[in-house]
Amino acid sequence: MTGETQNTTWPLPKFYFTVTGMPGNPVFQEVTGLETEVQVIEYRAGNSGIFAPIKMPGLAKVGNITMKKGIFVTDQLLWTWFKSITMNTVARSTIVINLLDQNGTAQYKWQLNNAFPVKLTGTDMKSDGNEVAVESIEVAYETMSISIGG
């Protein structure tokens, strides 16, 4: 068995990804909140002999995503982008999150359309800690599409 080729397909690791489409294209260490759902509409006709309502799909909605990255000296990319939303002058972005294979090729892609920042969180500070300073940004978007392959 040693040295033989396996014919098994393995799942992609979740730690190898890229995020593009934001000013300066910062490198993130974590992305959470990639979700979409459909509201359920319950309907029952007045002359229906069924006692339980019929369930139908309604409006789709997406959540916000949160992205985290380390803080570097003189790096104000997230702050500059967040400040751009004042007075409703934000330039909306198309953010693309690629899940990569071991060769660095995009295998799974989430595209977030009309995205803009809604919350910026600085690092927590503890005098007895030794962790890296991490900031996070929450981004709202209107629609999401998912595709397979690069």
Task: Give the chain's domains with CATH numbers.
Answer: 17-33+62-148 (2.30.110.20)
Residue 29 to residue 12: CA distance in whole angstroms? 17
**Pick from 121, 124, 4: nearest CA to 68:** 121
pLDDT in tens, 78-111: 888 888 887 777 788 999 999 998 888 898 999 9
Summarize the confidence of residues 113-120 as an average pLDDT.
Answer: 94
Q: What is the pTM of this model?
A: 0.81
Average per-residue pLDDT for the chain: 87
- Report how far apart, in Å, the C-alpha atoms of 62 and of each of 35, 91, 109, 118 are: 6, 20, 16, 14
Whether 48 shows a pLDDT value over 60: the answer reads yes
Summarize the confidence of residues 23-44 as an average pLDDT.
Answer: 90
Beta strands 30-32 and 65-70, pairing class: antiparallel
